[in-house]
């Protein structure tokens, strides 16, 4: 059970959590309804009032709307509604099981039309595949946008999703009275813009195989060396690089030295999560000729492929700077046979 006042985030909950536990509704088998990017929460409150027997989850990346909703929910004692900090992409791939959601609501997603920003767009193939996979059969995706080009692009993506069926005979409708008006919607209407509403239902077509992406095992490397810490310290360089095959970006930021340890500061950006982590190189107390390279649990990092790639990169730096004998290698995909 989580405390109702505790802030939920995609990194504070297990991958994947028991949602009945999170909502304190164990045994009640409540449907799960999710709103992505709820802003100032008009739709979330509408969902709370129209779906009293569901668990309603809102996810938002902006802190001001999040804090506003948190205090509003506390004041109104709406125990079946929870809000969460994080990117929808992380919620979809790490925290929601396939077939576990009854409704998704997406209202006025940011368009991100510049080519260099397109990867941030919510409506894209990968994210829509996850949304479709997380819906239970019969569940619905509700989407609204006031931007014609975004509507056209969403229509093309939705039409190419065999697991979703359009509820309308047209690509979208421009009037959908049976819903709350969000803040952004009110502004768009006042300014004379047309709204495009989509409702798609999850059909019985077999879903894509998109299991929850769980955490990886703890990364670490144990080795023996007579080399000295100074040499490794000086071999470290500030640098940034990408692992294109997995869309991972790593920035090696800094290194700090103590008599018996080094602490490396690293930023890791992956498709679903961005983390600032610390990695330690420490001398073993029981055998001072043995060293351990391991992730520090400072800041409660999630152990992802990106974290393994970053620790492996440090292992490479160590291995190139001093002669080592590897005793245990728990780094995913780390090739110990480096050419000198
Ligand atoms: C244009 S505003 C619309 C807000 C609200 N839905 C409304 O209609 O008034 C888009 C909202 O989505 C949030 N957002 C954008 N990308 C997101 C993502 N990947 N995950 C969660 N929230 C996101 C933004 O912080 C912003 O509050």
Set out the domains of the chain in order of their start, with CATH numbers.
8-202 (3.40.50.150), 220-330 (3.30.310)
CA angle 176, 67, 306 (to 5 degrees): 95
Residue 309's contacts (CB-CB under 8 Å, 6 or more residues apart) are 243, 246, 248, 250, 268, 333
SS3 category, 19: helix
Predicted pLDDT of residue 5: 53
Phi first, then psi, for residue 314 (nearest 5°) are -65, -40
User: CB neighbours (10 Å) of residue 90?
Assistant: 23
Instruction: Determine how β-strand 164-166 pairs with β-strand 196-202.
Output: antiparallel
CA 108 / ligand 1 centre spacing (Å): 7
For residue 318, what is the enclosing H or E element? helix 305-321
Predicted pLDDT of residue 89: 95
User: CB neighbours (10 Å) of residue 141?
Assistant: 24
Task: Assess whether 110 carries a catalytic annotation.
Answer: yes
CA 78 / ligand 1 centre spacing (Å): 22
Q: Which residue has the tokens 């047209």?
A: 170
Mutation pick for ligand 1 pocket among 34, 37, 87, 147 (CB with most ligand atoms within 8 Å): 37
Cis peptide before 16 (omega within 30 of 0): yes
Predicted pLDDT of residue 306: 95
Q: Which residue has the tokens 């569940």?
A: 139
Q: Determine the atom of ligand 1 nearest the C-alpha atom of 38.
A: 6
The model's pLDDT over 27-79, given as tens digits with 9 standing for 90+, comes to 999 999 999 999 999 999 999 999 999 999 999 999 999 999 999 998 888 98
How far is the first Cα of the chain from the last one, in angstroms, to the nearest whole number?
A: 52
Confidence of residue 275 (pLDDT cuts 50, 70, 90): very high
Between these two residues, 248 and 113, which has the higher pLDDT value?
248
Average pLDDT value for the chain? 93
CA distances to 97, 280, 330 from 336, rounded to whole Å, are 36, 19, 11
107 in contact with ligand 1, CB cutoff 6 A: yes
| Residue whose CA is at the smallest distance from ligand 1 atom 11 | 37
Confidence of residue 340 (pLDDT cuts 50, 70, 90): very low
13 in contact with ligand 1, CB cutoff 6 A: no
Could you say which of 110, 230, 287, 335 is catalytic? 110
Confidence of residue 3 (pLDDT cuts 50, 70, 90): very low
Predicted pLDDT of residue 65: 95
The model's pLDDT over 132-190, given as tens digits with 9 standing for 90+, comes to 999 999 999 999 999 999 999 999 999 999 999 999 999 999 999 889 999 999 999 99
Confidence of residue 198 (pLDDT cuts 50, 70, 90): very high
Percent above pLDDT 90 for the chain: 83
Predicted pLDDT of residue 244: 72
Read off the pLDDT of each residue in 195-220 and give the average, rounded to a whole number: 97
Mutation pick for ligand 1 pocket among 110, 120, 123, 142 (CB with most ligand atoms within 8 Å): 110
Predicted pLDDT of residue 6: 66
């Amino acid at each position: 059970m989580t405390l109702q006042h505790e802030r939920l985030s995609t990194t504070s909950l297990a991958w994947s959590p028991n949602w009945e536990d999170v909502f304190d509704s164990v045994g009640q088998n409540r449907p799960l309804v999710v709103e992505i990017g709820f802003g100032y929460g008009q739709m979330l409150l509408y969902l709370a009032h129209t779906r009293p027997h569901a668990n309603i989850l809102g996810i938002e990346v902006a802190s001001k709307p999040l804090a506003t909703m948190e205090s509003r929910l506390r004041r109104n004692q709406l125990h079946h509604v929870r809000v969460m900090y994080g990117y929808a992409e992380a919620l979809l791939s790490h925290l929601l099981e396939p077939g576990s959601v009854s409704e998704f609501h997406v209202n006025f997603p940011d368009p991100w039309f510049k080519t260099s920003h397109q990867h941030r767009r919510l409506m894209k193939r990968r994210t829509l595949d996850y949304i479709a996979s997380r819906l239970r059969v019969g569940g619905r995706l509700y989407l609204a946008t006031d931007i014609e080009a975004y509507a056209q692009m969403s229509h093309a993506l939705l039409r190419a999703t065999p697991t979703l069926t359009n509820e309308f005979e047209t690509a979208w409708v421009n009037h959908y009275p049976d819903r709350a008006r969000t803040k952004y919607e009110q502004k768009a209407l006042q300014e004379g813009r047309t709204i495009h509403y989509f409702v798609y239902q999850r059909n019985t077509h077999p879903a894509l195989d998109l299991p929850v992406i769980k955490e990886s095992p703890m990364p670490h490397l144990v080795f023996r060396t007579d080399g000295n810490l100074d040499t490794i310290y000086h071999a470290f360089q500030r640098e940034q690089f990408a692992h294109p095959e997995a869309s991972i970006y790593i920035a090696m930021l800094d290194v700090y030295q103590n008599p018996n340890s080094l602490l490396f500061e690293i930023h890791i950006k992956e498709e679903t999560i961005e983390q600032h982590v610390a990695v330690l190189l420490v001398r073993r107390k029981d055998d001072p000729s043995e060293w351990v390279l391991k992730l520090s649990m400072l800041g409660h990092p999630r152990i992802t492929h990106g974290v393994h790639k970053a620790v492996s990169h440090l292992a490479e730096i160590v291995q190139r700077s001093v002669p080592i004998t590897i005793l245990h290698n728990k780094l995913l995909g780390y090739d110990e046979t480096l050419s000198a």
